[in-house]
């Protein structure tokens, strides 16, 4: 019930998401990305908005850093849900944690278990129901040579495409988007893009990247 993407680019890695609540009975603006410190880590959650908020708050209370975030998150997930619930088919939660390790950004994903899957970032990763409609673009587009502006516009376009098909993904023109810019120099930054119109005819990145005039809040 969301779309969150990890996109590598020429200066580092970008995490970008839509901003719609995943509570089925409401339609409201929420934040799905949280930057813990200016040197990382950064976290993003797909699934129940309530569960995401609880985990974000508990991580803040622990003053987690790049060294402790994975163990802290594992302990919090187990405390909240328990091993039995994590193993059940009803578990509907997916968490991305980007950590800054030895000058590089590492992708960590908690997906229905207390221990993360970890990987270097040399391709796009994605979570949320909206990814069903843009996975082809994300799997077959080499973004590693993109500049920062190109990467932002590519992410906005992916969210726009997903919003056509997934009622739980908000279009960028409705609430805007959240992005975290994680650079190779070790700096992490969280930004919020104002609502922006993405050309409805720009269904391919090559056609649409020049026509998106976004602004930060």
pLDDT band at residue 172 under the 50/70/90 scheme: very high
CATH number at residue 49: 3.60.20.10
Number of domains forming the structure of the chain: 1
How do residues 71-105 score in pLDDT, each as one tens digit? 998 888 888 877 655 555 455 678 899 998 877 89
In a domain, 125, yes or no: yes
Residue 183, token pair as written in the block: 């650079």
Residue that the structure tokens 């991580």 belong to = 59
Q: Is residue 165 part of a domain?
A: yes
pLDDT of residue 217 exceeding 50, the answer is yes
Asked if the model's pLDDT at residue 152 lies above 60, the reply is yes
The answer to whether position 26 is within a domain reads yes
Note down the domain range covering 188: 4-211
Is 93 within a domain? yes
pLDDT of residue 79: 84
pLDDT digits (tens, 9 = 90+) for 20-78: 876 655 667 888 899 988 888 999 988 777 778 888 888 888 888 899 999 998 888 88
Residue 100 inside a domain? The answer is yes
Least confident of 51-55, 161-165, 197-201: 197-201
Q: How far apart are the C-alpha atoms of 111 and 50, rounded to whole Å?
A: 17
φ, ψ for residue 126 (rounded to 5)? Answer: -160, 150
Q: Which residues contact 63 (CB under 8 A, 6 or more apart)?
A: none
Report residue 115: phi and psi, to 5°: -115, 140
Q: Does 216 reside within a domain? A: no
Q: What's the pLDDT score for residue 203? A: 47
Question: Would residue 44 count as lying in a domain?
Answer: yes
The per-residue DSSP string of the chain comes to ---EEEEEETTEEEEEE--B---TT---B---EEE-STT--EEEEEE-HHHHHHHHHHHHHTT--TTTHHHHHHHHHHHHHHHHHHTSTT--EEEEEEEEETTEEEEEEEESSSS-EEEE-SS-EEESGGGGGTHHHHHH---TT--HHHHHHHHHHHHHHHHHH-TTS--HHHH-EEEEEEETTS-EEEEEEPP----TT--SHHHHGGG----B-
The fraction of the chain above a pLDDT of 90, given in percent, is 47
And the tokens for 2?
């969301």
The answer as to whether 217 is a domain residue is no
Angstrom CA distances, 35 to 31, 95, 122, 150, stand at: 11, 14, 22, 22
């Amino acid at each position: 019930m969301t779309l969150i993407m990890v996109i590598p680019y020429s200066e580092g890695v970008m995490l970008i998401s839509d901003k719609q609540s995943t509570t089925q009975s409401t339609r409201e603006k929420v934040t799905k990305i949280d930057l813990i410190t200016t040197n990382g880590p950064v976290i993003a959650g797909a699934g129940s908005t309530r569960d995401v908020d609880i985990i974000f708050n508990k991580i803040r209370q622990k003053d987690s850093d790049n060294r402790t975030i994975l163990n802290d998150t594992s302990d919090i997930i187990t405390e909240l849900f328990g091993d039995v619930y994590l193993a059940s088919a009803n578990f509907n939660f997916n968490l991305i944690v980007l950590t800054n390790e030895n000058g590089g950004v590492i992708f960590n994903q908690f997906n229905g278990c207390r221990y993360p899957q970890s990987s270097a970032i040399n391709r796009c990763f994605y979570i949320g129901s909206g990814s069903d409609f843009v996975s082809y673009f994300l799997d077959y587009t080499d973004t590693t040579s993109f500049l920062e502006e190109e990467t932002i516009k590519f992410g906005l376009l992916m969210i726009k495409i997903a919003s056509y098909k997934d009622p739980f993904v908000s279009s960028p023109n409705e609430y805007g988007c959240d992005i975290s810019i994680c650079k190779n120099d070790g700096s992490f930054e969280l930004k919020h893009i104002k609502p922006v119109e993405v050309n409805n005819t720009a269904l391919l990145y090559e056609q649409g990247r020049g026509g998106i005039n976004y602004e930060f809040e």
